Homo-oligomer: A and B are copies of this chain.
């Protein structure tokens, strides 16, 4: 069996292919009776237009590429849902591309997306440059950057104000009376993390708060646990621990518990991201929330708007504000 084509529909309805095409694309240009007849034929044959052929001729696909470092990270999963929903609302579909932060994988995927003639790409690039996207941009593919500090002159972007996020965490600790905090930092090469640290330390400098930085090599729970354990084994005077993400915080809480310290009575813990598991941790975690779904949704809207009308389009930069979600892992500083 082979699926019905526009020609088959035309034959069955007793009209020309041009008319069927009009029924599909400009129904207003078609007389009512003809319209009805053609639509009946379409239903009868279960005709679904071939998107490839349509593209070939009209040079417009309804496909987007979403390129992220790691879809198993709950942050990107929720972003992906936002992208997908916005895309579906606009009649677009989404090709998912996972780079694992590997430049080679990214290149491979960009080439596939080019070959698929996607009309837009939403990307958190593996490098800090738009270089690999040059040819796509030249060919008129709409690109929106997702939470990336790469140059924004030629593209739209959506991002979160991570400096504010860092400040929010510090401010919350200050209000609770914590004057000595530890910062479980994550790798400093990650730009989002660097921004959070900046917000935190800037606040601390102007509020008589001392910050002990505990770097880690990854953003995992294991890394957080190890860092906390190491810190506890030396003299440790902080009464609050602020972490670069929730996984680090969950790990840190495990180390604290093993050391016999109670959260929040002995020590407060603050995370970042507000992943779903933050709420269901043994001690529900206070965290800085990023609007992940909204981030993805906005990115898709931007890229679709550019794809639809490249000429009228002006590049925009949407900056989301993080919010503090207070749960049980933070309390007043012990005296």
Measured CB to CB, the residues of A under 8 A from B are 1-3, 46, 48-53, 55-56, 61, 63, 66, 71-72, 74, 77-78, 80-81, 84, 88, 93-98, 105, 108-109, 111-112, 114-117, 135, 138-140, 221-222, 225, 247, 250-251, 253-254, 257, 276-277, 279-284
- Closest CB in chain B relative to A238 CB, distance in Å: 20
- Closest CB in chain B relative to A274 CB, distance in Å: 14
Question: Do A48 and B114 form a contact, CB below 8 Å, given A72-B74, A221-B280, A282-B257?
Answer: yes
Are A96 and B95 in contact, CB atoms less than 8 angstroms apart?
yes
Complex: chain B residue closest to A2, CB-CB: B139
Most buried by B among A51, A138, A247: A51
- Cα distance A111–B49 in the bound complex, in angstroms: 10
Oligomer: number of copies: 2
Per a CB cutoff under 8 Å, which of B52, B63, B108, B135 touches A3?
B135
Per a CB cutoff under 8 Å, which of B50, B84, B95, B283 touches A94?
B95
Question: Do A48 and B98 form a contact, CB below 8 Å, given A74-B72, A138-B1?
Answer: no
- Cα distance A184–B88 in the bound complex, in angstroms: 36
Question: A71 to chain B: which residues have CB within 8 Å?
Answer: 71, 77, 80-81, 84
Complex: chain B residue closest to A253, CB-CB: B282
A51-B115, A250-B280, A254-B280 known, 10 other contacts, Cβ within 8 Å: A3-B139, A46-B135, A48-B115, A50-B117, A72-B78, A81-B98, A94-B96, A222-B280, A250-B281, A277-B277
Per a CB cutoff under 8 Å, which of B88, B116, B250 touches A51?
B116
- Closest CB in chain B relative to A68 CB, distance in Å: 11
Complex: chain B residue closest to A98, CB-CB: B84
